[in-house]
Structure 1
Amino acid sequence: MCAIGLAAILLQTVFGLAVVRGGGMSPASGDGDVALTYRLEQAYSANDVIVYRSQSGQQLIGRVVALPGDVVEVTEDGTFKVNGSAQPSSNGQSTAPAESGPAYPLTLGEGQYFVLGDDRMQAVDSREVGAIGINVVEGKVVALLRLRGI
């Protein structure tokens, strides 16, 4: 009984669970997978996969591609740049800007990250919702349970 209580406390304060919705992080994760997150991280690094909430409250998952102080740009021809250097896509897709996204170049402030999905064609990410503040990050993905198709 005590172990169950301890597990519940850990899941509420230290760790979290998030169900992946959509294919924005394909092939790393897919619709229906469950992400285990670590909630106590104070800062994130490039390539960390995080779970965060959009302004509308939608839970999203994506990869950190730019850090506080970086200048990011998404060009009309689909090139993604950080501090003036073109960045390769993880799967070779171009990175098209969103119609209603932020203005570029975008300088990230303290505690802000630019997050992209691995499948840029399907992802809802910083191209639409803008810079991600550390205050809306729910945690860093530390494990992935592939539950799709079960």
Structure 2
Amino acid sequence: MENNATQNKDSENKSSLLKQIRDYGISILIAITVALLCNAFVFARADVDGESMLPTLHDKDVVFVEKITNLTKHFKRGQIIIFDRKNAEKDILVKRIIGIEGDQIQIKEGKVYLNGEALKEDYLADGTFTAPSQFLANNKTYTVEKNHVFVLGDNRENSVDSRILGTINVNDIKGHTVIRLYPFNSVRLFK
């Protein structure tokens, strides 16, 4: 009789162990699925490569972008976005939205004008001069077309942005920066 009891106990232990393994496996599978869905549709990590957003973002900064705005296509002036440059190298760039659809942009005497008013750009380094370029010549006014945004880097002397690329289609935007998490001593939230 003791032998039967021991066998039943062993059988119950094995069954319990298998149930625990199955439960852990299901939990891990759910966690991985949620993480993948969040990365695809909610948040993603992006590493800053280069100095085009100085002094706001530095080379090797780690930021997180939210992707929900991509679904609504409701981007705002001042947001820092990442977008597909649409070149052979498949570069992803990080820039600040200056103008949205219908806005009039002009570069005059080293300043950016938005809808006829000089843009107040507190995020730029003192003495920053915004030079015109091939897409937006000096004193030329450009109206941002439907479903596009006009972007500039904060480091205007070292930035490939809408002055060169033209406006950015909102469908090419991968997300808008919400937080810098690294370096840890420079954690910062963005609007």
TM superposition score category, shorter chain reference: 0.7 to 0.9
Query: Higher helix share goes to which structure?
Result: 2
Give the partner amino acid of 2:172: V
The whole-number CA distance in structure 2 between the counterparts of 1:101 and 1:34 is 30
Conservation of the 8 A alpha-carbon contact between 1:46 and 1:67: yes
- Give the conservation status (yes or no) of the 8 Å contact 2:106–2:136: no
Q: Is 1:123 matched with 2:159?
A: yes
2:15 aligned residue: none
The equivalent position to 1:101 in structure 2, one of 132, 135, 144, is 135
- Selected match of 1:59 from 92, 111, 116: 92
Contact 1:29 1:146 in 2 (8 A): no
Q: CA deviation at 1:141?
A: 0.8
Matched, 1:79 2:114: no
The runs of 5 or more residues in structure 1 that have no matched partner are none
Post-superposition Cα deviations, 1:106-126, rounded to whole Å, max 9, x if no partner, equal 111121111111111122211
Q: Could you say which residue in structure 2 is the equivalent of 1:133? A: 169
| Higher RCO (C-alpha 8 Å, min separation 6) | 1
How high is the TM-score relative to the length of structure 1? 0.87
In structure 2, stretches of 5+ residues that fail to align are 1-27, 185-191
Name which of 72, 89, 111 aligns with 2:147: 111
Query: SS of the counterpart of 1:6?
Result: helix
Runs (4 or more) in structure 1 with deviation over 4 Å come to none
Q: In structure 1, the residue corresponding to 2:157 is in which secondary structure?
A: coil
TM-score with structure 2 length normalisation? 0.70
Shift of 1:74: 1.6
Superposed CA RMSD in Å reads 1.8
How far does residue 28 in structure 1 lie from its aligned partner after superposition?
1.7
Alpha-carbon distance in 1 for matches of 2:181, 2:60: 9
Q: Distance in 2 between matches of 1:105 and 1:55?
A: 25
- Say whether residues 1:69 and 2:102 are aligned partners: yes
> SS of the counterpart of 1:128?
helix
Matched pairs, number: 146
Higher strand share: 1
% identical equivalent positions: 29
Distance 2:120 2:104 in 1: 16
